[in-house]
């Protein structure tokens, strides 16, 4: 007998797409087996006639995902073995799926304008979970009693069978809209709709709105044409069709922005109005949960293409407040970077966590206010606030974490070591020799053999106490360099002539170039403005087995004095760092005999830097994190394998 297979590439261990497919197959009574393994979702049909009808259905109802890749099809003579999935259910941090979105905008639906509409495999779920396991009594929804219609869905609807957060406009979460004079309550479809209508009109008038969402408080305000905004202000688009008018996006960036994971992305601006307000790039977001979606829909009807917002808290001052009474544990937004054909989560928790890990030893890992802990023969990685009582033989704690003081027997691990192990584990390279480069704040070179990372070239170390004196005595003539800089840029000189300044090499570089913020992100934003093809050579070399940071900074000072345009200088910083990392990695590969280079740390995601590394390390097997962030949070996963 022949079996027809449609294979979807899916580079994640999370199961929400496969489970959605199973639910739709059951709902439409179509015979298909869905297997997820080896970074693929296999749809296996024993009746060829089912393929076309079901794949057309999937095109309409399955959301785009940043983890979905190419689709292939083939025929097998023997049916693959199907194993029962026996693992605890973990909550997701997703946007509503197409079916739930459709219900939110269907006036005949019980979910019409109900902002907490979701199902088993979509929507913001984790913010409402207080402890494991993921059942209603362990969530803040335990205070709500489902109506008869929701009870029926809980028993029969394949999308919501057993769903812990099931609710609708008839039995769900009430909203309050408050200003200094009055309070408005919304607790059914009509009043929900009216509340969001009023909120949109308030913003259109130029007033501010603080809104509690499952993903945290957001301070919304209309982007005014006569104002400029700082780099921390995000732009949320209200209309997908207008995104390409205002921004310069490649196809992969556009689909990622609208994916069910809804990442935050830095993209290039195109419309003059956005360029005036934000410059050459923005932090772009598409509405990612019901509250923001419904607000955006009303803004769209008022002719507004986008709205500005900042992350906030309950105490943030605003003209109006929209809130609800359920407690939440809000995750940090995830930032996605696309370099050529590679998608990487550069930082943040939301997309990657909570996470479930199988086939690892029973240990607990603590880092960054998160914990990896055993649960029902697996490991769950999540916020410390949701962790169960932990009883393990081994406890691993990140170096410098206060948690270690309370547990003197804990094993201490280094951030860079755990991060590189996370890359090797995700790429099924455990036990293999590999060169590692970690670039979060500083650069560190490592070598890993038999799952034991070793630091080869330590991270950069610089002392700001005597910064200008150190530069002045670097080499002959450096004293004149310092004097000239002091005379020409007295304010910058004064900023760095401060023993209280606690900055690393790249933060000092940002201060010297004067990009407006003392961090590498500021340099990155300016570098994106450069339209040339090649940068300048900035001094990057090793001295005493460490990056010679003083020579690097002196080189930047020289270019600054020479009047090199800011965009070119910033571009050159990343290009030169890329050369330094690539050259160092190649030397370590040659000495060790390894062809694998594992890259981690959020700054690896920089487009200029990664492009340089790809070009110079093209002959090597370059690997990075896949579903975990490049940033520090990946240590919760990597430390499990130390």
pLDDT digits (tens, 9 = 90+) for 379-431: 999 999 998 677 777 899 999 988 877 777 889 999 999 999 999 999 999 99
Order of strands across the sheet with 378-383?
355-357, 378-383, 370-375, 363-367, 394-398, 411-413
pLDDT for residue 578: 94
pLDDT for residue 157: 96
Q: Which tokens go with 298? A: 């009303």
Alpha helices (H) along 489-565: 490-496, 505-513, 520-527, 549-561
Across residues 458-471, what is the average pLDDT? 78
pLDDT-derived band at 501, boundaries 50, 70, 90:
low
pLDDT-derived band at 29, boundaries 50, 70, 90:
confident
Cα angle 413, 418, 420 (rounded to 5 degrees) comes to 145
Q: Which tokens go with 313? A: 């808290």
pLDDT for residue 461: 67
Percent of the chain, pLDDT > 70? 99
pLDDT for residue 500: 60
Across residues 5-30, what is the average pLDDT? 92
The whole-angstrom separation of Cα 221 and Cα 468 is 43
3-state secondary structure of 183: strand
Closest to 638 measured CA to CA, from 368, 444, 408, 387: 368
**Between 258 and 476, where is the model more confident?**
258
pLDDT-derived band at 46, boundaries 50, 70, 90:
confident
Do 295 and 200 touch, CB atoms closer than 8 A?
Answer: yes
Strands 216-221, 209-213: parallel, antiparallel or unpaired by DSSP?
A: antiparallel
Closest to 630 measured CA to CA, from 375, 129, 263: 263
The whole-angstrom separation of Cα 602 and Cα 334 is 11
Delimiting residues of CATH 3.90.870.10 domain(s) in the chain: 175-330
Query: In CATH, what number does 175-330 get?
Result: 3.90.870.10
pLDDT-derived band at 545, boundaries 50, 70, 90:
confident
Spell out the residues 6+ positions from residue 265 whose beta carbon is closer than 8 angstroms to its own: 253, 256, 257, 283, 284, 285, 335, 336, 337, 338
pLDDT-derived band at 499, boundaries 50, 70, 90:
low
**Between 574 and 392, where is the model more confident?**
574
3-state secondary structure of 197: helix
Spell out the residues 6+ positions from residue 475 whose beta carbon is closer than 8 angstroms to its own: none
Average pLDDT, the chain: 92
pLDDT for residue 315: 95
pLDDT for residue 195: 97
Delimiting residues of CATH 3.30.70.1510 domain(s) in the chain: 3-76
Across residues 90-119, what is the average pLDDT? 97
Answer yes or no: is pLDDT of 145 > 70: yes
pLDDT-derived band at 495, boundaries 50, 70, 90:
confident
pLDDT-derived band at 523, boundaries 50, 70, 90:
very high
Query: In CATH, what number does 3-76 get?
Result: 3.30.70.1510
pLDDT digits (tens, 9 = 90+) for 480-490: 999 999 999 99
431-625: CATH architecture? 2-Layer Sandwich (3.30)
pLDDT for residue 2: 86
The whole-angstrom separation of Cα 219 and Cα 216 is 10
The whole-angstrom separation of Cα 356 and Cα 130 is 17
**Between 313 and 391, where is the model more confident?**
313
The whole-angstrom separation of Cα 606 and Cα 521 is 9
**At 251, which helix (H) or strand (E)?**
helix 251-257
pLDDT-derived band at 464, boundaries 50, 70, 90:
low
């Amino acid at each position: 007998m022949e079996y027809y297979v449609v294979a979807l590439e899916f580079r994640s261990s999370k199961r929400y797409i496969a489970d959605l497919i199973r639910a739709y197959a059951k709902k439409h009574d179509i015979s298909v087996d869905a297997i997820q393994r080896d970074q693929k979702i296999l749809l296996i049909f024993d009746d060829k006639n089912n393929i076309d009808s079901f794949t057309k259905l999937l095109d309409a109802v399955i959301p785009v995902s940043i983890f979905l890749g190419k689709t292939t099809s083939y025929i097998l003579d023997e049916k693959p073995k199907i194993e029962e999935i026996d693992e605890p259910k973990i909550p997701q941090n997703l946007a509503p799926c197409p079916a739930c979105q459709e219900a939110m905008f269907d006036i005949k639906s019980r979910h019409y304008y109900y902002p907490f509409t979701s199902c088993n495999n979509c929507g913001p779920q984790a913010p409402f979970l207080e402890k494991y396991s993921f059942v209603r009594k362990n969530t803040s929804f335990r205070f709500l009693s489902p109506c008869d219609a929701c009870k029926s869905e809980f028993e029969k609807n394949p999308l919501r069978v057993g769903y812990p957060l099931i609710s609708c406009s008839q039995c769900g979460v009430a909203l309050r809209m408050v200003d200094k004079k009055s309070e408005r309550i919304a607790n059914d479809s009509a009043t929900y709709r009216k509340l969001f209508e009023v909120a949109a009109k308030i913003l259109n008038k130029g007033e501010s709105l603080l809104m509690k969402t499952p993903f945290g408080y957001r301070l919304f305000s209309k982007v005014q044409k006569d104002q400029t905004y700082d780099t921390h202000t995000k732009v949320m688009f209200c209309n997908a069709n207008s995104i390409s008018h205002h921004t310069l996006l490649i196809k992969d960036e556009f689909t990622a922005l609208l994916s069910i994971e809804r990442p935050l992305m830095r993209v290039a601006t195109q419309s003059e109005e956005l360029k005036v307000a934000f410059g050459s790039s923005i932090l772009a977001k598409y509405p990612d949960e019901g509250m923001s979606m419904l607000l955006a829909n009303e803004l769209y009807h008022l002719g507004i293409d986008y709205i500005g917002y900042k992350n906030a808290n309950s105490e943030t001052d605003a003209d109006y407040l929209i809130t609800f009474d359920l407690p939440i544990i809000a995750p940090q937004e995830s930032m996605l970077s696309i370099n050529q054909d590679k998608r990487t989560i550069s930082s943040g928790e939301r997309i990657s966590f909570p996470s479930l890990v199988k086939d690892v030893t029973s240990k607990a890992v603590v880092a960054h206010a998160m914990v990896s802990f055993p649960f029902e023969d697996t490991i769950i990685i999540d916020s410390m606030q949701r962790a169960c009582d932990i009883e393990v033989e081994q406890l691993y704690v990140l170096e410098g974490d206060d948690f270690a003081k309370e547990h003197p027997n804990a094993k201490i691990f280094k951030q860079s070591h755990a991060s590189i192990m996370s890359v090797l584990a995700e790429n099924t390279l455990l036990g293999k020799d590999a060169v590692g480069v970690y670039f979060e704040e500083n650069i560190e070179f490592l070598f890993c053999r038999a799952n034991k990372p070793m630091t080869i070239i330590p991270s950069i170390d610089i002392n700001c106490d005597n910064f200008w004196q150190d530069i002045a005595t670097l080499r002959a003539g450096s004293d004149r360099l310092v004097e000239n800089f002091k005379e020409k840029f007295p304010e910058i000189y004064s900023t760095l002539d401060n023993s209280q300044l606690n900055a690393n090499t790249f933060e000092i570089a940002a201060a010297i170039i004067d990009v407006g913020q003392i961090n590498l992100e500021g340099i990155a934003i300016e570098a994106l403005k450069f339209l040339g093809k090649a940068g300048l050579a900035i001094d990057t070399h090793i001295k005493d087995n460490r990056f010679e940071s003083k020579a690097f900074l002196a080189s930047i000072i020289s270019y600054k004095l020479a009047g090199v345009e800011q965009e070119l200088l910033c571009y050159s910083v990343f290009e030169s760092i890329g050369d330094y990392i690539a050259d160092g990695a190649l030397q370590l590969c040659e000495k060790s005999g390894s062809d694998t280079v594992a890259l981690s740390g959020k700054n690896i995601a920089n487009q200029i830097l990664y492009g340089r590394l790809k070009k110079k390390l093209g002959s090597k097997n370059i690997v990075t994190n896949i579903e975990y962030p490049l940033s520090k949070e990946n240590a919760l996963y990597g430390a499990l394998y130390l």
